[in-house]
Amino acid sequence: MDAGLVLVQDGMLQGYLAEGELDFGLNNLGMYWESTARIRLLGEAEEGDLDLSMFVDRTPLTICAQAPMEYLVEMFGKLGLRYICVVEEGSGRVVGVVIKKRLVVWLESLKG
């Protein structure tokens, strides 16, 4: 497991839910809710909702899409991150997410 859900509303980053936390919430907490229960990731949960908002990182680290790759690699190395959300300069709209494991595989392929 190395990915997750990037939570976006109107193009703006609202949070990030790592795959491990999502898996834990659905498999361990979800067994206590009906299969038709709504899953709440953001906002106030209503009665009967499976509230997974406690697992959402509401302030994930971001990097500008125009930043040099060296900055990204340095952030992963020095901060020990698993992922970084990539945003558009100026507007802050989400462009994507970089997962450390996938970045390492890509960097290794460049050595080839």
Task: Say which DSSP state 56 is in.
Answer: -
What is this structure's pTM? 0.80
pLDDT value at position 93?
A: 92
Is residue 36 predicted with pLDDT exceeding 80? no
CB burial readout 5-16, b (16+ within 10 A) else e: bbbeeeeebbbb
